[in-house]
Every structure is written in C-alpha cells, then in structure tokens.
Structure 1
Amino acid sequence: MTPIVRPATADDLAAVRLIGILSWPPTYGPTRGADYVVAGLDRYWSDEAIGTAIREERVDVACRDDTVIGMSEVDRMGNDLVLWKLYVAPDQQHRGVGRRLVDAGKERARAIGGDLVTEYDIGNATVRGFYLRQGFRDDVAPWPGTDAVWMRWALSRQR
C-alpha cells in the first residue's frame, strides 16, 4: 500500500517522536556517538520541540494503515523553506516513503514561490545520493562555520 502524506496533528506527537527515537541511533550513532544522539533526541525530539513544530504546521507525516512511518519538518528561511528533518522508520526505508515526504516539502515550497533547501553530514553518501535523485543540487551554506553540506531544490529549474 502506498503511504499517505498529510500534515501532522497533535494526535501524532508520540508517533513523530517515536520516528526520531527509532531513526537517530542508527543514523548518527556510528559517526557521532551516543552522547550526540542522546543530546539530539532531548533537544530536537522533545514533546515541546515536536509539539511546537506541529502547532506551527511545519510537520508532515507519512502513514501506512493509519500508522506513522515517517516524518518531515520544514521551516521558512527567507524566501525559501528548509527541510530540517526527514526521517523514516528503519523498517520502512527504501520503499518510497522519503521521496513522498520530499515531494510534500516541494509542494510547500511551490506554494510560497521559493526553493527547498536541506543539509546533511558531510560523510553521508547515502543521503547525498537520495537528495540528488530528488533533484537537489549542491548549494552554499547559509552561514559560515557549518560542517554540514547544503543542497537546494530550485523551483526555477522546475518550470
């Protein structure tokens, strides 16, 4: 069954947090370590952080059979949107869920007439390949001193 992507509601808070709890250890643990994972979960995946993002209508969820299997979070940065989070439950990866969530982010960007930008850890070739397949291209970082690699999906290239 094809997953359905929709805006998150307050009822999705626990399920969205679970996506982070399931995704962060295998994503960041091997390269960043357990302390980084614990600190990141506390900071970015708390009830407060996720609840605020949901209330501000920045979170989409992918559902299969009414079960949340992935999530994305975007936020405005100037004229563009930043895709800050894109996570899929480990047992649901490589099934098109991430692509559908990115497509929802692109639709949000189209609605405001802006681009969709994102970033990833420099050594993560898997993520880089994923974003390249979704039409993103390398971009400059929006501020100095970051070690993340930034990519842009440009609305102007889609016309």
Structure 2
Amino acid sequence: MTEPAPELGRHTDMRRIWLIALLLTAVACGGGNSVTTGQPADPEQPVSTPVGTPAGSGTPSAGPSMTVPVGNTLNPRKIPWTTARPAGGDLEITWVSGVEPCNSLDRVDVAYAAAEVTVTLWEGTTDEDAICIEIAIEKKTIVKLTEPVGDRKIVDGAK
C-alpha cells in the first residue's frame, strides 16, 4: 500500500480542527429556544430585565434617564417619542433610544398650530468613530414651551 501524500494528511488534520472548533462553538452557544432554566422559551415572557434596570439589580431604576439637547450632532434624524406629559407650562417627553455618544439628543422642534402642537425630537451622534452597544434606554427631556398647549392635541413630528 502507498502512504498518503503529506499534504493530504495536513488538510485532513486541519478539517478535523475546524470541525472540533465548530462543534465547540455550537455547544457553547446553547440550544436555541431555551433560557438559563433549561425550559423552553415562552414568547409571552420577557427574556431580559426591563429597560432602565441596572445590571444585576433585578429592579428597575428610578425611571427614564434625563437628557438635554447637545446640538451640532452628526447625521441628525427624527426620533419618535412614546409619551408627552404636561409639566407645569412645559412638556415632559419620553422615548426609547440607544446609548450616547451614538444616540445623542440634538434638538427638539416645536410647531404651534390652532388645533395641535407638534413636537419633533432629533438625534444624532457626537462621535462618528464611537463603538456603542445596541441596548434600549428610556430617556426623557423637558421641552420649554413658548405657548400653552391648552386644548390642543400634542403630535409627534417623527410619525
């Protein structure tokens, strides 16, 4: 019998190494639809702690993170908000966004009409080279109004 060429043996060894690495990676990644309890994931149950929960605390923080416009961000874009509540003669606006400096509040535009007040949030980045984690954070800002809202409807300018 003829011995295999040395090159063939090296390729076979490399394939085995890659196969073992692939199997170890698959085992380390887990079984797909299971959580740490080993039970199947229920699509109606949350898979993580609520937004605003400090890591490891298990309880939500005091609420949305207070944010003020920084202005002059790069590539500002409209961001939809989730709630607008009167706060004295001002408005408290809340929304869900990412971490700074990748998602920084640039400005808040307010347009007054007879039947509605339109509030538009603008976010951009303050550091184009920043590497930010993708995590949702609830934020809020106080919008100083020049006219009272009165009976007018408050409208999201990003929608």
**Higher RCO (CA-CA < 8 Å; seq separation 6+):** 2
TM above 0.5, yes or no, is: no
The normalised TM-score by structure 2 is 0.28
Query: Per residue, is there more helix in 1 or in 2?
Result: 1
The normalised TM-score by structure 1 is 0.28
